[in-house]
Structure 1
Amino acid sequence: MLQRGLPLLRLLGIPVHLDLTFLLVLPLLAFLIARNLPLYLELFGLPQDPGLLQGSTPFLLGLLAALSLFLSVLLHELGHALAAQRLGIRTQRITLWLLGGVAQLERIPREPKKELFIALAGPLVSFALALLFRLLRQEAGTLGFLTHYLALVNLVLGLFNLLPALPLDGGRVYRALLALRHPYTRATQKAMGMSQAVAVALGLFGLMVFNPFLVLMAFFVYMASRAEAEATLLAQALEGLKVRDLMSPNPIALPKDLPVEELLRLALAHRVSGFPVVEEGRVLGVVGLEGLEGADPRAPVGRYVQEPLALSPEDSALKALERMGERGYARALVMEGDTLLGVLSKTDLLRAFQVRLLGLTSLDKEGGAG
């Protein structure tokens, strides 16, 4: 759902990125805090200090508060990352964006106790920060506002993330608790159902109170919960499978000067949609039907060759699918050194996913019946 964004820094060895939406929301959030500064001071029981309410001071204070909020979000995500690290799971990156932050782990553990440990680490960091700023709070001036504000927002951040909706921490906690009694696939499906119910309720509440941020968050939760569930099912269905298990071995290799019309005849005869292209035993690339729209039938296929994505036969099927998705490739060549072993297409991967998912669903039903 998120792009990698702009590299910012490395924190304890973890890359931190800024999504472009962060750069848009930061000044907006600073403006909203500055505009409502008198209301905040009243809420916190602080004096309406004229020095805080005049000139550019409210916006500067709002900008400082907004940056402090995102720093709190970063520490929240760092809590997840360090908890995952203790379990031997690497964090690929932390991204700050429009709605907060995301710690992208290389995998989500399917052991319920491990998922609980990682999921609860973030809210615990937020609650610890809320307590810290409450103990340090001042009763006037800039520090008075900031300490009260950060105590409140960290408390809200921790509580909001405990809503039982994926991909929020509470959704992961809910799924982990379900997985103590149900197969992981069934637990994920149940958690997705709860997530979408929470998203609808959150969206309706946002409409009732005219809060577009809550409506946007509800939409994000609804869509992200579906993506989370699909990714989890995909990872489980392809677990244990390697590229060599799914590839089509000994593919038909075409010379680069073969006419396109001959390629089309071969595709129809052999029911394949792509071919490797070779010259004197050296792999030049791959050509697929999707890249031949509008092609001259008499032109050589070498004119339409695409740079190949090379996979090892020992790569996992899931890693292969991820790499093909990142590059936008419909197929990859399976290579061992300079030797072409086979072709792996997305169709091969999706067929394996469908077959394995049917098997997992059958096992879930059998387990549920007992």
Structure 2
Amino acid sequence: MKIAVFGRTELRCSICVLLLVPAAAVLGKLPALMLALVSLAVHELSHAFMAARLGLIVSSIEVQPFGFIAELHTPPRTPSECLSVAAAGPFASLLIALCGAGLGKYIGHTSAAFQDFCSFNLSLGLMNLLPFLPLDGGRLALALIEKRTGRARAQRTLSLFGIIFGVLLFCAGVMLVSATDAAFNPTPLAAGFFIFISALSEFRCSCGSNIKASLAELSRLRSGSAVRVVPIALRSDCTVRKALSFIGGRGYGIIFVVEAGATVGILDENIVLNAALRGENDAELSTLLPEHSASSAPNLPVFKR
């Protein structure tokens, strides 16, 4: 449900949140819910602020039962931008916890609500540094390893870790609830369920992540924006399917097609992407080259073995 529009960013609120507020009030948990929502708002708005500072368009910020979700219209263009946007949230949460601890030590006495607020931000910041998708630590790890493994493979691996972590956290919550001498704490249950569902969604989307990233690069290029060029050398018998795992998300790919130690042609990722859209995923790169590509480009670099 749309609440307001700030510039090009929509502020949305899930219907579930509206139902959660009266339920928390009945259970006497409304103050705790408000503190959690404020902490999550600062965390997520830090991501949005950093993205806006980098020139990225934040299309919407939605209030969900387990936090705020910022959706970027334009994804980060470089690994450094990915790192900056992903690190902004945990940094803000840990900064709040650190400042709160310092203030509490200076004053000497703080309320229980203030201590809970600082503890929640500390837990939020530390948990989001875990290298599992969809957590911010997973985004940091994705930006660091996608160059070596390809974005799709890295996203699958990190989201699989996220699924396992979500299941373990949910099971820990069930064990806490079943303990007769423990007070009811729904946080592990809710967090585990949210992480599991989000990680499962990331895993399902990983197969098309490189294609989505390539389409985003093409969109920026067609709109007149400058994009980063990423050169890559692949063998002529490399398939379109395998080539797609090496491009996308890091810039506009220029592929040097190599055969017998020499470059026989050059392709860009637009040609490879169009071949995939035509269903030619098992076609070799050599079949995508123009007939006289080698003769029309006599000064192509030679790659020695």
Contact 2:37 2:67 in 1 (8 A): yes
Distance 1:24 1:191 in 2: 33
Alignment of 1:87-236 (within 5 A): 87-109=54-76, 111-137=78-104, 144-210=111-177, 212-236=186-210
Contact 1:162 1:168 in 2 (8 A): yes
Give 1:203's aligned amino acid.
Answer: F
How far the C-alpha of 1:18 sits from its partner, in A, is: 1.6
Match among 328, 352, 368 for residue 277 of structure 2: 352
How far the C-alpha of 1:224 sits from its partner, in A, is: 1.7
CA gap of 1:232–1:132, structure 2 versus 1, over 3 A, is same
Distance 2:140 2:97 in 1: 21
Give 1:219's aligned amino acid.
Answer: F
Residues 179-238 of structure 1, C-alpha deviation per residue, up to 9 Å, x if partnerless? 243222221121122112212221221222125543343233223223224435424225
Give 1:21's aligned amino acid.
Answer: C
CA gap of 1:216–1:150, structure 2 versus 1, over 3 A, is closer
Contact 1:234 1:353 in 2 (8 A): no
Question: What fraction of aligned residue pairs are identical, expressed as a percent?
Answer: 30
Match among 2, 13, 16 for residue 11 of structure 2: 16
Q: Which moved more, 1:163-172 or 1:214-223?
A: 214-223
Distance 1:216 1:134 in 2: 26
TM-score, with length taken from structure 1: 0.51
Bigger Cα Rg: 1
Contact 1:164 1:198 in 2 (8 A): no
How far the C-alpha of 1:14 sits from its partner, in A, is: 3.6
CA RMSD between the two structures: 3.5
Residues 149-198 of structure 1, C-alpha deviation per residue, up to 9 Å, x if partnerless? 21111111112222332211122122222224322222112112211221
Secondary structure of the 2:149 match is coil
* Partner residue, 1:69: 36
Residues 62-101 of structure 1, C-alpha deviation per residue, up to 9 Å, x if partnerless? 5344323212211111111111122221111111111111
Secondary structure of the 2:129 match is coil
Secondary structure of the 1:115 match is helix
Contact 2:152 2:208 in 1 (8 A): no
* Partner residue, 2:3: 7
CA gap of 1:223–1:148, structure 2 versus 1, over 3 A, is closer
Contact 2:142 2:155 in 1 (8 A): yes
> Where has structure 1 moved over 6 Å in runs of 4 or more?
357-360
Contact 1:237 1:357 in 2 (8 A): no
Give 2:191's aligned amino acid.
Answer: M
Give 1:164's aligned amino acid.
Answer: P
Residues 15-74 of structure 1, C-alpha deviation per residue, up to 9 Å, x if partnerless? 322211112223444555x4xxxxxxxxxxxxxxxxxxxxxxxxxxx5344323212211
Contact 2:133 2:202 in 1 (8 A): yes
Secondary structure of the 1:102 match is strand
Aligned pairs, number = 222
Question: Any gaps of 5 or more consecutive residues in structure 2?
Answer: 178-184, 217-221, 224-273, 286-305
Distance 2:281 2:76 in 1: 19
Contact 2:156 2:206 in 1 (8 A): no
How far the C-alpha of 1:124 sits from its partner, in A, is: 0.5
Distance 2:14 2:278 in 1: 32
CA gap of 1:121–1:69, structure 2 versus 1, over 3 A, is same
Contact 1:8 1:18 in 2 (8 A): no
* Partner residue, 2:233: none
Residues 300-333 of structure 1, C-alpha deviation per residue, up to 9 Å, x if partnerless? xxxxxxxxxxxxxx89xxxxxxxxxxxxxxxxxx
Alignment of 1:28-43 (within 5 A): 28-30=23-25, 34=28
CA gap of 1:241–1:126, structure 2 versus 1, over 3 A, is closer
Secondary structure of the 2:84 match is helix
Give 2:13's aligned amino acid.
Answer: L
Give 1:199's aligned amino acid.
Answer: G
Question: Any gaps of 5 or more consecutive residues in structure 1?
Answer: 35-61, 243-313, 316-348, 361-370
